[in-house]
Structure 1
Amino acid sequence: MSFMEDPPITARAVDEDIAAYAPLVRSVAWRYAGRGADFEDLVQEGNLALIVLIPRCPDNR
């Protein structure tokens, strides 16, 4: 692997990032609950978005 290539993202790192952002997902879902969607549905959609987007984002640690 050359210095220009991104290091592979491990499943553990993805799981840690999802766990770190889970409180933010819940707080945003809590704000939007009752506006036509259930709290659980909003949390589920937020978690799905995290699962899709975290591997795509560069690792800025």
Structure 2
Amino acid sequence: MSVQEQIKENLLKEIYTDIDKMYDFMEQHFILSDEHEKLVIKQLNKLKDQFYMIAKQSSLS
């Protein structure tokens, strides 16, 4: 694994951790219906997927 790939992997881990914290924040501060909870999870997973694609297709600055 190249240095750039290792850096990208570490950045993705950090981003994913922050996204998970967003979910935890929502869960702690709001009473979500099952529908809304599923929607939040779906959208945050979509965001993770988008960051993954960006990291794989882009070079570091």
Q: TM-score, with normalisation over the residues of structure 1?
A: 0.50
Greater relative contact order structure (CA < 8 Å, 6+ sep): 2
Q: TM-score, with normalisation over the residues of structure 2?
A: 0.50
